[in-house]
């Protein structure tokens, strides 16, 4: 019997999330594939073969946010900086109804992780043309999406740098939109999605509250946000 089986289920998942978070933080992992790699390595190291007890992306993200190392004010500043980077990209791609997703949408700021934007387009070529017209150099790729009906889809993606920060564009076409939005592979919860107007309002609120909130309280408040399909 593995050592994981002698531990209560909630503790097993928490330990796995903490170990995966450590691997991500210490190895500078940079995308969703790396999150899955960290999850598998953590499970192997802790002897956890039952995937029902594997943490989902949000649980690993919360473990990352709880790791010691930087003062809360620094974390809050990085969160605001990355959100402003996301907003700039969203404004330049407004025609594709961009939504901020991933950990940044849930209040987790890691500079070595890309800012993820979900774009809606009839074809990926339309997004490619828009990037070329704006003089943006990009790299093409694919992003494996999971849906509530347990179907999967390799969605086209484009990655580029903005001020040294990686931006990942994940393209959803009209046919896939009818299946609903992507879900987390493990929890089956929908990806968080924040629209441009909501992100602008959040940043405006941060600016107003900054004069009276401490860095710790601002980060705590931001970290609780999990928004779905806001405008």
Helix (H) or strand (E) holding 219: helix 215-223
Number of domains in the chain: 2
Shared domain for 213 and 104, answered yes or no, is yes
Shared domain for 46 and 97, answered yes or no, is no
Shared domain for 86 and 30, answered yes or no, is no
CB atoms within 10 A of CB 75: 22
Shared domain for 77 and 62, answered yes or no, is no
Shared domain for 93 and 178, answered yes or no, is yes
In a domain, 205, yes or no: yes
Shared domain for 154 and 217, answered yes or no, is yes
Dist. CA 20–CA 186, nearest whole Å: 14
The pLDDT value given to residue 53: 87
The pLDDT tens digits of the residues spanning 42-63 come to 999 999 988 888 998 888 888 8
In a domain, 104, yes or no: yes
Q: What is the DSSP string of 186-217?
A: TT-PBPP-B-HHHHHHHHHHHHHHTTTS-HHH
Give 197's contacts (C-beta < 8 A, 6+ positions apart): 230, 231
In a domain, 230, yes or no: no
pLDDT of 216 strictly over 60? no
Shared domain for 125 and 209, answered yes or no, is yes
Shared domain for 14 and 125, answered yes or no, is no
Shared domain for 182 and 157, answered yes or no, is yes
**Residue 101's domain is classified under what CATH number?**
3.30.460
CB atoms within 10 A of CB 9: 11
> In terms of residue numbers, what domain contains 60?
3-66
User: Between the CA of residue 224 and those of 48, 175, 218, what are the distances in Å?
Assistant: 29, 32, 10
Q: What is the pTM of this model?
A: 0.77
Shared domain for 33 and 135, answered yes or no, is no
In a domain, 35, yes or no: yes
* Contact yes or no for 218/206 (Cβ under 8 A): yes
The pLDDT value given to residue 172: 94
* Contact yes or no for 151/143 (Cβ under 8 A): no
User: What is the three-class DSSP state of 166?
Assistant: strand
The residue among 18, 34, 66 that closes a domain is: 66
The pLDDT value given to residue 30: 66
3-state SS of 1-66 is CCHHHHCCHHHHHHHHHHHHHHHHHHHCCCCHHHHHHHHHHHHHHHCCCCHHHCCCHHHHHHHHHH
The pLDDT tens digits of the residues spanning 116-170 come to 999 999 999 999 999 999 999 999 999 999 998 889 999 999 999 998 899 999 9
Shared domain for 98 and 211, answered yes or no, is yes
Give 138's contacts (C-beta < 8 A, 6+ positions apart): 128, 131, 158, 159, 160
Phi/psi at 195 (nearest 5 deg)? -80, 170
The pLDDT tens digits of the residues spanning 73-100 come to 567 888 899 999 999 999 999 999 999 9
33: tokens are: 């594939």
In a domain, 91, yes or no: yes
In a domain, 138, yes or no: yes
User: 185 or 97: which carries more pLDDT confidence?
Assistant: 97
């Amino acid at each position: 019997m593995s050592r994981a089986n002698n531990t209560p289920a909630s503790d097993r998942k928490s330990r796995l999330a903490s170990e995966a978070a450590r691997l991500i933080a210490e190895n500078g992992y940079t995308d969703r594939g790396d999150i899955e790699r960290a999850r598998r390595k953590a499970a192997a190291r802790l002897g956890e073969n039952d995937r029902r007890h594997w943490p989902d992306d949000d649980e690993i993200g919360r473990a990352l946010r709880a790791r010691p190392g930087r003062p809360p004010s620094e974390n809050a500043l990085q969160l605001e900086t990355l959100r402003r980077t996301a907003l700039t990209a969203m404004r330049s791609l407004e025609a594709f109804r961009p939504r901020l997703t991933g950990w940044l949408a849930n209040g987790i700021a890691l500079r070595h992780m890309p800012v993820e934007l979900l774009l809606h387009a009839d074809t990926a070529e339309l997004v490619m043309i828009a990037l070329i017209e704006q003089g943006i150099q990009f790299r093409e790729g694919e992003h494996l999406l999971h849906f509530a009906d347990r179907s999967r889809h390799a969605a086209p993606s484009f990655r580029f740098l903005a001020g040294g920060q990686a931006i990942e564009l994940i393209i959803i076409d009209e046919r896939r939109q009818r299946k609903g939005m992507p879900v987390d592979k493990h929890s089956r919860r929908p990806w968080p999605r924040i629209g441009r107007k909501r992100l602008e309002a959040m940043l405006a609120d941060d600016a107003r509250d900054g004069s009276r909130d401490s860095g710790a309280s601002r980060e705590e408040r931001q970290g609780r946000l999990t928004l779905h399909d806001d405008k």
